[in-house]
Structures are given as structure tokens and as C-alpha cells.
Structure 1
Amino acid sequence: MTLLILGSLLTIGLILVLLEILFVPGTTLVGLLGVLVTAAGIYYAFIKLDSQLAWMILGITILVNFTALFYGFKSGVWKKFALKETISNRTFDDRLLGLTLGLEGKAVSDIKPIGKAEFLDKIYEVKSEAGLIPVGKTVIIHKLENNKIIVKS
């Protein structure tokens, strides 16, 4: 029964430390709990077993824990959990194609300071440079920046 309890404590401690590294890095709570459970297992070994066997268990535990960590880092198992791709697409990148500075259009809604205007038979969301522009008024593209259309009347 002593070996079952000892083995359980040491195994649970190792699993908690590995869980800390694999799944919840940075929290240190799970890893700290794993170290405490491992230490409790070693303490239990020193209480229940003779000192020579307890020292051997301490050495084996340290060896197994460091081997598991070293093998885990060396084998690249951590790379399976890392994001390797970036998002390269951007929304509305071609939205401003065909629009040029000075192009005239018509406000199809009140632009206060954001509204809708029609250019080249397409409706775009625009921003007014100077405030309210009423419906039906002619607007001119003043700036095209960061996918935004800045107009003035």
C-alpha cells in the first residue's frame, strides 16, 4: 500500500508539472501544485521507508522528472501546440479600387460625420471631414487612407 501511495503522488506530481508546461503555461499554479505533490511523495518516502531507499526514490524522481522535461523540449512536442501561421488576408483591401482623389459623388444618407455616398454607381461608407452633409448633396473624395473614404462637400 505504501508503494501505491508513493507511486501515485510522484506520478500525479509529474503529470501536473507537464500539464503546466503543455496546457497552462504562465499560470504557475498547476506547476507549483505538481511540485508540491512530488515533494509530498518524497517526504512520504522518507517517513515510511528506510533512508537509503528514500534517497534512491528521490534520485529516481529527479531523474525521471528532468528526463521527461528534457525529452519533451527536445522532441518538439511543444511545437504541436504553437501557432505557426498568421492571417495574411485583410478585409476590404480592394474596396477602394477605382476611386480617386477629387472624384465626385452624391450623398445617399446624411453624413454626420459618417454616412453613405454613391460613387461610380456603387454605394460606399464615407466620413465627412467637416461635419454634417445632407442627403443629395454633391461630395468630393478628399482623402483615401486606411480603407476609409474621407469626403468634403
Structure 2
Amino acid sequence: MEWLIIIGLMLLGTFLIVAEIIFVPGTTIVGILGFVFSAYCIYLGYDYFGPTTGTLILIVGLLLNIVALVIAFKGRSWERFSLKGTMTGKYNDDFKFDVKVGDKGTTISSLKPIGKAIFDDHEIEVRSNGGYVDENVEIEVLRVESSKIFVQPVKI
């Protein structure tokens, strides 16, 4: 019965450590629990069977964790869960609405310094000149550089 507890704790600890490193990056409860289960397994090995067998369990546990990590990294098992696509488009790349310097519109979100505005019923992404602009403020186009539209609030 003692061997089943030790083997079960060793396998559970190894599984949790591998899961932490491969699937849940960062120091979280999963990795800590894996370490605790592995350490408790080694402690029980020393307690149940003495120093010789306890040391053997320690060595086997370390080798098991190292082999499991090597197999997990070489098997590239994490790639099934990772994102493979990349975003290449930008917000204003595909709009056909022609915005010119001096055009007036209204912000529909705050500009911090980037946000959205409406010009003649067309929603586009705009940039302030570095300042904060509240929503529902009338704005004017200062300059247009490719798909970047720089605006400023209209002075009343």
C-alpha cells in the first residue's frame, strides 16, 4: 500500500509540474501543488523505507520529472493549444471613406490618444495629438498619414 501512495504522489506531482510549465506558464497553484506532492512523496519514501530507499525515490523522482519535461518539450505537445494566426490588418486599412484635412466629426469613444470617431456616418479610428479627448466631442482632422488620422478638438 505504501508503494502505491508513493508512486501515485510521484506521478501526480510530475504531471502537475509538466502541466504548469507547458500549459499554465507562471508560478501558479498548479506548479506549487506539483512540487508539494513530489516533495511529500520523497518524504514518505524516507519515512516508510529508510534513507537508502528514500534516496533512491528522490533520484527516481528527479529523473522522472526531467524525462517528462524533455519528452513534453520534444513532443511539442503545447503547439496544439497555442495560437498560430497573426493579426496583420489595421483598423483603417480597408476603409474607403475619404477623410481630408479640415473635415469635422464627433468622437464616439475617448481618445487616449487613440479612439474612434464618426465622420459622415463612417466609424474610423483616429488619434489625438497626444492629449486626452472625451467622447461626444466635436473634432477636426489635422493631418492624414497613410491610415493614421490625427485630430484635435474644435475650438469654440
**Cα distance between partner residues in 2 of 1:151 and 1:86:** 35
Q: Which has the larger radius of gyration?
A: 1
Question: Displacement of 1:22 after TM fit?
Answer: 2.3
**Cα distance between partner residues in 2 of 1:10 and 1:123:** 64
CA RMSD of superposed structures (Å) = 3.7
Unaligned segments of structure 2, at least 5 residues: 107-115, 127-139
Which residue in 2 is equivalent to 1:39?
39
CA deviations on 1:47-95 (whole Å, 9 max, x unpaired) are 1114332222222111111100111112222333333321112233232
Task: State the SS of the aligned residue for 2:45.
Answer: helix
CA deviations on 1:75-125 (whole Å, 9 max, x unpaired) are 2223333333211122332325555557xx8x799xxxx9865xxxx6446
What is the letter of the counterpart of residue 16 of structure 1? L
**Cα distance between partner residues in 1 of 2:123 and 2:98:** 15
> Scaled by the length of structure 2, what TM-score is found?
0.63
Q: Percent identity?
A: 30
CA contact (8 A) 2:14 2:38 kept: yes
**Cα distance between partner residues in 1 of 2:61 and 2:105:** 75
Which residue in 1 is equivalent to 2:74?
74
Task: State the SS of the aligned residue for 1:20.
Answer: helix
Unaligned segments of structure 1, at least 5 residues: 128-139
C-alpha change, 1:7 and 1:115, in structure 2 (3 Å) is closer
C-alpha change, 1:79 and 1:141, in structure 2 (3 Å) is closer
> Scaled by the length of structure 1, what TM-score is found?
0.64
